Amino acid sequence: MGTVRALFNGLMKKHHRQGILLGQTTAATPEDFFGFDHSQVETVHFHKDGVGPGVWFRLHCGRVVNEVAMPTCRDPQLYDHAGSWGAHA
């Protein structure tokens, strides 16, 4: 697994564990919690206009999901310019 993929996987695991500890999920795996695998992540954003700091996973299909596994607006203009890290994985 490439360094970037390991980062995506680590972020997903962290937020899945946090969801369990806060009683927000009973999902057994990060993949069950988020509804996608880390290999589907194109990039991660760490800031959204109007919201502030956070974590948003942008998938190859264009869908965007936040750190609590909720779908959110796909408009790339709302997010920091994290760029596509997929080429470096």
19-78 pLDDT, tens digit per residue, is 999 999 999 999 999 999 999 999 999 999 999 999 999 999 999 999 999 999 999 999
Q: Is residue 88 part of a domain?
A: no
Place of tokens 């962290």: 14
Q: How many domains does the chain have?
A: 1
Q: Is residue 65 part of a domain?
A: yes
Residue 35, domain extent = 3-82
Strand order in the sheet with 41-48: 41-48, 52-59, 64-66, 71-72
Q: Is residue 50 part of a domain?
A: yes
Q: Is residue 89 part of a domain?
A: no
Q: In this structure, are residues 47 and 40 in contact, taking their beta carbons and an 8 Å threshold? A: no
For the ranges 4-8, 14-18, 35-39, 43-47, which has the lowest average pLDDT?
A: 4-8
Q: Is residue 87 part of a domain?
A: no
Q: Is residue 48 part of a domain?
A: yes
Q: What is the pTM of this model?
A: 0.85
The tens digit of pLDDT for each residue in 56-72 reads 999 999 999 999 999 99
